[in-house]
Chains A and B, each alone.
Chain A
Amino acid sequence: AAAPDGTAVSASKTKTKKKHFIGQKVKLFRASEPILSVFMWGVNHTVNELSNVPVPVMLMPDDFKAYSKIKVDNHLFNKENLPSRFKFKEYCPMVFRNLRERFGIDDQDYQNSLTRSAPLNSDSQGRFGNRFLCSYDHRFVIKTISSEDIAEMHSILKKYHQFIVECHGNTLLPQFLGMYRLTVDGVETYMVVTRNVFSHRLTVHRKYDLKGSTVSREASDKEKAKELPTFKDNDFLNEGQKLQIGDDNKKYFLEKLKRDVEFLATLKIMDYSLLVGIHDVERAEQEEMDVEGAGEEEEYENDGMGGGALTGSFGTPPDSPGNPLNCGGFFGPGEFDPSVDVYAIKSRDGAGKKEVYFMAIIDILTHYDAKKKAAHAAKTVKHGAGAEISTVNPEQYSKRFYEFMSNILS
């Protein structure tokens, strides 16, 4: 028997339908590296566990200190796709479940995005060479972080949650959706999952990391050689780049930005960036035509909806996500679903180019006190590759940041 979406359903001995029809595919957690398999297994497991824990009326203080830990030790069993030994820890499961709900993310969808197919490596580099991955459907970003970042997250989690409650999830801050520690071959890796700032469908053609700072804010030659380099403040200004979103959008955006950076300043957090991605609508249309021309000889499973929506210039796999929102409607060029691409803003009518902008705050885990300590330890204010010599405090940083961003929007 086959379900409507073509997944196999176990044959039934009885004539009546089984009362527990589960349409999901078998998940093998197959990946190029054991750590990714463990990640997939772990997210699958923890979301399943949570499905058996009733949703409480409200979170309690203990929920912000809680964790779940599981250690697997198999022998001659399930060796095909998973290591025999590994550990998986989830921090504050109830809190992140609540956050996912407040950010409009269904747990099953979250689980599917991270487990149906292996997350993909991203060549983005965060601060200090942190590793980035994104879910196979490009909805979520998985960042490898340090144990210090974990401690910082725990420090801010209550206030962050409260802020999210008060702004009803309406913020440019990172949407923290899950935080984990994986142990494979005795090595511990910490990961945090956030909603992708960029679109899961529309390509980003140009990317900027903006701080509003003046020193060393230029992409290196090595960076410029990449397929999608991360340009910075000086590049932005030198190119005469414009973000033409119109007055209403600008007002609305800056309201959020103001609230957000004020919040960060009260927590004494600084060195965050505004990540900006620009989707060039005409260029994307051209790219899609090029791909379709080349792709006629290949065998694409095409959902038959939205033409290049699933395969276009994005390189998505033929066996594309079965998430309803992908197949639900036909998206024209430059169109998007604001409930999925929550950071997307269309360029205003009359702007020179038809563009879509994706803008949100990233990298919010650097605490001023931790910075000062590290600076003293290094006997110098400059620390780490690519960080600026910064003598401002969080309050000043937030003001300078806000000023810069409000000036570049029109």
Chain B
Amino acid sequence: GGEGGGLGSSSIAASIASKTKTKKKHFVAQKVKLFRASDPLLSVLMWGVNHSINELSHIQIPIMLMPDDFKAYSKIKVDNHLFNKENMPSHFKFKEYCPLVFRNLRERFGIDDQEFSNSLTRSAPLNSDAQGRSGARFHTSYDKRYVIKTISSEDVAEMHNILKKYHQFIVECHGNTLLPQFLGMYRLTVDGDETYMIVTRNVFSHRLSVYKKYDLKGSTVAREASDKEKAKELPTYKDNDFINDGQKIYIDGENKKMFLEKLRKDVEFLAQLKLMDYSLLVGIHDVERAEQEEVDSEDNEAEDDGESDGGGVGTPPDSPSNTLDSTKPLSPGEFDPSIDVYAIKSAPRKEVYFMAIIDILQHYDAKKKAAHAAKTVKHGAGAEISTVNPEQYSKRFYDFIATILS
């Protein structure tokens, strides 16, 4: 042997394979990610999160965050021509706000960057029919671990205002809070339209279904689900519905104590920042009801071709391969508290509750300005006529929640 270059490509590959007995040192087991989605915006989100996490993997994690990190952003503009048109738009922009800050927050909330990326990129996020304030749009990651909320540019500005103090609060409470876990904030530009998105940890379980949902503020005015809302598959009920239904949250003394301690610290923090109009989102999982649903769906699937995970949650056949799901099967009503961090087992009843604070970006001063502009205290569909200030709001909120926990 010893001649130069006499081999065709396939035999070169074969000769490389046979010559090297050592394994390639860069084995990558992840699937090809096509970023396929029903909406170009979602493809861009998937592409962008994938790109952002890859970029961050090449930046050394600093010992601590610097002031500049809270003003930073990364911006990328893609312009392809006759390339990669199958699943992606040819022209789009993706901006990530304060990448190092959110990476640090993810770490403090116990979320690994690779897993975060996988959840948002392996399969397209799903539309959620949940409606936020003023019709904000929601998606959940395909594995239901994260919620992606479309927000306004004013929300993005407010996030920047509170980010340093929010981060400091998370440091001090060691990530142990009922506040939203902010994990990433982005601006996407597709077809010239800008969309702002924020990713938070799902309050509800990624596995256990919620059959009843409440949005509670401790307020008294117009706190009832509309008929339109009640027609939905999972309506969002409110304070008056809760009271009228005679709904109760049964958790034991220890859980109640821990929960209220966190709640108190959280609402005091929000009051300091002059934030208000937030809610406690409550979701109830009924264990027996879920078992019955699973039996029903298995019966139905006996006639279909469907691969059933048996999870009872309608998970897709190609389910997340996140490690903790596949270690051992969880019994009915059981959960992994490091994933379903808001889950609390009910004491006498066979129920699991998911409770955390949502919608914290409404600032009192912005509210007052808007109220003056509208020449009335009432603004926006579904908002209450509220004459309280953040301090009062927080106290009223806390008292209401404390009362409903028995």
Contacts and interface: CB of A to CB of B under 8 A. Distances in A.
Interface of A: 3, 5, 7, 10, 13-24, 26-29, 48-49, 51-54, 62-63, 65-78, 80, 93-94, 101-104, 106, 108, 112, 168-172, 249, 252, 322, 324-325, 327-329, 335-339, 341-346, 358-359
Listed from nearest, the 4 A-B pairs whose CB atoms lie closest are: A104-B12, A342-B5, A168-B8, A66-B82
Given A23-B25, A93-B83, A325-B19, A342 B4 contact: yes
B327 to A, nearest CB: 6
A72 B25 contact: no
B324 A14 contact: yes
Interface in B51-81: 54-55, 57-60, 68-69, 71-81
A14 B323 contact: yes
Contact of A338 (B5, B73, B118, B327): B5
Interface stretch (B32-40, B202-210, B344-352): B32-40
B23 to A, nearest CB: 8
Contacts of A75: 71-75
B174 interface: no
Contacts of A72: 74-77
B2, B27, B57, B100: residue with the most chain A Cβ atoms closer than 10 Å: B2
Contacts of A341: 4
Given A16-B327, A70-B76, A77-B74, A94 B3 contact: no
Given A67-B83, A74-B73, A78-B55, 19 more contacts: A13-B338, A19-B30, A20-B28, A26-B60, A51-B32, A65-B81, A68-B80, A70-B77, A73-B77, A74-B72, A77-B69, A102-B9, A106-B13, A322-B25, A324-B24, A338-B1, A338-B4, A341-B4, A343-B5
Nearest to A322: B25
A346 B3 CA distance: 7
B80 to A, nearest CB: 5
Interface of B: 1-9, 12-13, 15-16, 19-30, 32-35, 54-55, 57-60, 68-69, 71-84, 86, 99-100, 110, 112, 114, 118, 321, 323-324, 326-327, 338
Contacts of B114: 18, 20
Nearest to A14: B323
B74 A74 contact: yes
Contacts of B30: 19-20, 22
A15, A19, A172, A322: residue with the most chain B Cβ atoms closer than 10 Å: A19
A80 B13 CA distance: 38
Contacts of A51: 32
Contacts of A324: 20, 22-25
Contacts of A19: 29-30, 321, 323
A54 B75 contact: no
Given A20-B114, A104-B7, A344-B4, A74 B60 contact: no
Given A72-B76, A74-B73, A28 B110 contact: no
A190 B246 CA distance: 72
A17 B5 CA distance: 41
5 contacts: A68-B78, A68-B81, A76-B71, A337-B19, A343-B5
A69 B79 contact: yes
Contact of A20 (B2, B12, B29): B29
A90 B77 CA distance: 14
Contacts of B338: 13
A261 B261 CA distance: 82
Given A20-B114, A104-B7, A69 B80 contact: yes
A78 B118 CA distance: 23
A16 B326 CA distance: 9
B85 to A, nearest CB: 9
At the interface, is chain A mostly helix, strand, loop or mixed?
A: loop
B5, B83, B99: residue with the most chain A Cβ atoms closer than 10 Å: B5
Contacts of A5: 25
Contacts of B32: 51-52, 54
Nearest to A334: B2
Contacts of A17: 323
A23 B110 contact: no
B72 A71 contact: no
A26 B57 contact: yes
Contacts of A71: 76-77, 79
Nearest to B54: A48
Given A18-B114, A71-B77, A104-B13, A325 B20 contact: yes
Nearest to B338: A13
A140 to B, nearest CB: 15
A101 B12 CA distance: 10
Contact of A344 (B2, B22, B76): B2
A70 B118 CA distance: 23
Given A112-B26, A324-B25, A49 B7 contact: no
Contacts of A29: 58
Contacts of A359: 4
Contacts of A337: 19
Contacts of B75: 72-75
A17 B326 CA distance: 11
A249 B118 CA distance: 52
Contacts of A346: 2-3
Given A19-B323, A21-B29, A324-B22, A70 B99 contact: no
A12 B34 CA distance: 27
B59 A78 contact: yes
A70 B78 contact: yes
A48 B21 CA distance: 26
Nearest to A356: B2
Contacts of B77: 70-73
Contact of B83 (A22, A66, A358): A66
Contacts of B76: 70-73
Contacts of B82: 62-63, 65-67
Nearest to B327: A16
A13 B25 contact: no
A339 B12 CA distance: 6
B58 A28 contact: yes
Contacts of B118: 20
Nearest to A41: B58
A345 B71 CA distance: 58
Given A68-B80, A78-B74, A13 B110 contact: yes
A102 B99 CA distance: 39
A21 B27 CA distance: 7
Contact of A24 (B15, B26, B29, B59): B26
Given A70-B78, A78-B55, A322-B25, A52 B34 contact: yes
Contacts of B34: 52, 54
Given A63-B82, A344-B2, A27 B58 contact: yes
A5 B21 CA distance: 15
A328 B81 contact: no
A141 to B, nearest CB: 16
A52 B76 CA distance: 18
B81 A108 contact: no
B167 to A, nearest CB: 16
Given A329-B19, A338-B3, A345-B2, A169 B9 contact: yes
